[in-house]
Chain A
Amino acid sequence: MHVIDGTSNSIKSFLKTLSPVDQVGAEARAAMLGTRSIKTSSKTWAIDMAISMIDLTTLEGADTPGKVRAICNKAVRPDPTDSTVPHVGAICVYNDMVKIAREQLDAVGGGDIPVAAVSTAFPSGRASLEVKKVDTEFAIANGATEIDMVIDRGAFLSGDLVKVFSEIEFIKSLCGDKAHLKVILETGELVTLDNVRKASYLAMAAGADFIKTSTGKVAPAATAPVVLVMLEAVRDWYSMTGVKIGVKPAGGIRNTKDAIKQLVLVNETAGPEWLNPQLFRIGASALLNDLLMQRMKLRDGHYASPNYVTLD
């Protein structure tokens, strides 16, 4: 269903129908959900669910083919000593590493793990449309089945919503049915929760399969109120259009407690249907080790040591 036809008027009149976010209320609700007590049996389930939702990410200037292969191995078998640990949701890399990641995953039995490429001049998004086009096509041609694009925050903040909308639409047309499109809103630069809500709807209307909080390069990143607002947006979008859009918080989720808080937010906001890797992902790198250590703690009955998980 097309709620926006791409013209400035249609975008403005649609965004006017959105109610403003009660910021104090959103923060209080997110904080309250963060205090839920999770019992041991639920925690065991939540840890495995969180592991299967991780987009295991390495986005450093110092990334090497060796490091990318190493995280691919880890993605398939997060804990080499325990085959009951599920594999992660996806691998997320820069586009020149996509091919290496795809080959490595296929070689070690991770054929069903998708490779996501950050695209459109990640993380700033400051490049011409031609560059963004080539960036995206290169990643897809090399085997990326998920594209993480950034929106043009400068255009968004200066009110040029048509540009933001048409760029997402354009990248979506490049993805076609070959790749899922995740749209990074970079909420740390959007300033207000109202903007987060507006940008979420803009992305969904333009064809996003997922809306993602942040690049991980800007703080604050995936704060609980931001994720709450985005989950409300996908919930309301579903009731409006019947289409389920995924959410991916990324950046700043480093330990099991944070991850479980995210799952509580999902369950209480979008609903249990979103508690699966097709509709919720967590962009992270350090988080996986902490989840593995908590898993060892539950299994062995004593606290684990970082000496028994891999260095990233």
Chain B
Amino acid sequence: MRIDVKKTYKLYIGGAFPRSESGRCYEILGAKGKFIANPAQASRKDLRDAVVAARSAFPGWSSATAFNRGQILYRIAEIMEGRSSQFVDEIVAVEGCTPTAAQKQVREAIDLWVWYSGWCDKIGSIYGSTNQVSGAFYNFTIPEPVGVVGAFAPQKSSLLGLVQTLAPIIAAGNTSVCVASEKFPLSAITLSEVLATSDLPAGVVNLLTGITSELAPWMGAHMDVDAIDTTGLSATQDKEARIAGAENLKRISAFKSDVSPQRILAFMEHKTVWHPIGL
């Protein structure tokens, strides 16, 4: 006979695992209506703190070599592999799917990290260009990360949708404040424990659990967020975010395709450099 060691599900902000500053949590139920957990219910102030953490992590992460970023993304896959059974158990409990389907989702998620890790040092050479200009200049265009990207992970997938959202954002060299699926947040919490032990610098990814409709307006209007992935928002919330985001010209994208290098490029800006020949 042993006393259960119950887990407190917390947020992931700036490399630490705080409770919500509001002290709130909310209840999530499994597919059959059974109680599963009480994850933290992030407030707008948690979101504000997460943006500050992401902003301070941006200079380091964006200036790390693309090769180094790729290695760290691969490391995330390695660590996830070692904890795959925990991911499977949580997906089965929350989504009510079969263990086989859950295993498939976990494997795809891990493989996706590997896939995006390869893209880190190739995106510039494949989507950048050298341009012919009528003058004595080398002229080339390179994609660069936009900055802090707010992300709303898809609501219907606990792990795979989250990785599809997060991996391209950080592969580009951005830092992120990501709001997990409202009903399926357990995988996000476990993923944050993976990220904390994967050599990923603190603050590059910040994961919040909570009520999407509560956080979306604050993310949309936040002047220090440079772009938003609204895939996990409803049509109305998406529209509101676009209106609020116009204030500081945020790049706002929602994605139909799950996996594509376009998802990396959506959060990059192209910089063109003119360099005189002969100097």
Q: Which of B220-258 contact A (CB under 8 A)?
A: 221-224, 244, 247-248
Asked if residues B221 and A301 are in contact (CB atoms below 8 Å), the reply is yes
Asked if residues B248 and A303 are in contact (CB atoms below 8 Å), the reply is no
* A59 → B minimal CB distance (Å): 24
What 1/0 mask marks residues of chain A from 275 to 312 whose CB sits below 8 Å from any chain B CB? 00000000000000000000000000111111110000
Instruction: Give which listed residue, A301, A305, A306, contacts B248 with CB less than 8 A.
Output: A305
Bound: A303/B222 CA distance, A: 5
Bound: A260/B222 CA distance, A: 23
Q: Which residue in chain B gives the minimum CB-CB distance to A304? A: B223
Bound: A301/B247 CA distance, A: 13
Bound: A211/B247 CA distance, A: 45
List residues of chain A with CB within 8 A of the CB of B221: 301-303
Bound: A302/B223 CA distance, A: 8
List residues of chain A with CB within 8 A of the CB of B48: 303
List residues of chain B with CB within 8 A of the CB of A303: 48, 51, 218, 221-224
Main secondary structure of the interface of B (DSSP, over half): helix
* A182 → B minimal CB distance (Å): 32
Instruction: Give which listed residue, B51, B218, B223, B244, contacts A307 with CB less than 8 A.
Output: B223
List residues of chain A with CB within 8 A of the CB of B224: 303-307
List residues of chain B with CB within 8 A of the CB of A306: 55, 224
Q: Which residue in chain A gives the minimum CB-CB distance to B148? A: A305
Using known A-B contacts A307-B223, A308-B223, determine if residue A302 contacts B51 with beta carbons closer than 8 Å.
Answer: no
Bound: A303/B218 CA distance, A: 8
* B225 → A minimal CB distance (Å): 8
List residues of chain B with CB within 8 A of the CB of A302: 218, 221-223, 244, 247
Bound: A27/B244 CA distance, A: 44
Bound: A304/B248 CA distance, A: 10
Bound: A4/B90 CA distance, A: 73
Bound: A301/B48 CA distance, A: 13
Q: Which residue in chain B gives the minimum CB-CB distance to A302? A: B221
Bound: A303/B46 CA distance, A: 12
Q: Which residue in chain B gives the minimum CB-CB distance to A296? A: B223
List residues of chain B with CB within 8 A of the CB of A308: 223
Bound: A307/B247 CA distance, A: 13
List residues of chain A with CB within 8 A of the CB of B218: 302-303
* B104 → A minimal CB distance (Å): 40
Bound: A307/B58 CA distance, A: 14
* A34 → B minimal CB distance (Å): 14
Bound: A269/B48 CA distance, A: 32
List residues of chain B with CB within 8 A of the CB of A301: 221
* A39 → B minimal CB distance (Å): 15
Q: Which residue in chain B gives the minimum CB-CB distance to A255? A: B52
Bound: A303/B244 CA distance, A: 12
* B148 → A minimal CB distance (Å): 10
* B22 → A minimal CB distance (Å): 13
List residues of chain B with CB within 8 A of the CB of A305: 222-224, 248
What 1/0 mask marks residues of chain B from 208 to 224 whose CB sits below 8 Å from any chain A CB? 00000000001001111
Bound: A171/B261 CA distance, A: 69
Please list 9 pairs of residues, one from A and one from B, whose beta carbons are closer than 8 Å in the complex, sorted by A's number: A301-B221, A302-B221, A302-B222, A302-B223, A303-B51, A303-B222, A305-B222, A305-B248, A307-B224
Contacts A302-B247, A303-B51, A306-B224 supplied; 20 other A-B pairs, CB < 8 Å: A301-B221, A302-B218, A302-B221, A302-B222, A302-B223, A302-B244, A303-B48, A303-B221, A303-B222, A303-B223, A303-B224, A304-B223, A304-B224, A305-B222, A305-B223, A305-B224, A305-B248, A307-B223, A307-B224, A308-B223
Binding site for A on B (CB under 8 A): 48, 51, 55, 218, 221-224, 244, 247-248
Query: Considering the complex of A and B, which 8 residue pairs feature the smallest CB-CB distances, nearest first?
Result: A302-B221, A305-B224, A305-B223, A303-B222, A304-B223, A303-B48, A303-B223, A302-B222
Binding site for B on A (CB under 8 A): 301-308
